[in-house]
Amino acid sequence: MRSTRATAAVARLNQRSEGRHYLMVMTGDGKFVLRERLDGGDKDVAEALPLDDFVRLVNATGPQVVPRVTKNDAAFAKQLVRKT
């Protein structure tokens, strides 16, 4: 199903966003809307978007996870730098 990517993106956003709850709504024309659940009801975060644009928006929303860099990764990246 098309909405699997969108659902997974919203689930990752909810894991990153402590204390907030986001949900996805699929419109009749196949577009997706991101909503935030608040005490008084749901609030639209953005307008209806196609799947790829929706996933990009959700991935950019909220706090971002800092990738873990090991000592080996850092040493390898240092070797990749071209010397002049």
Tokens read off for 72: 């080996």
Tens of pLDDT along the chain (84 residues) come to 567 999 999 999 999 988 899 999 999 998 999 999 998 888 898 899 999 999 999 999 988 888 899 999 999 988 888 766
Region at 62 (left for phi over 0; alpha for psi -120 to 50; beta for the rest): left
Q: What gap in Å lies between CA 7 and CA 38, rounded to an integer? A: 19
* pLDDT score at 24: 93
* pLDDT score at 62: 86
Longest dimension (CA), the chain: 60
* pLDDT score at 63: 86
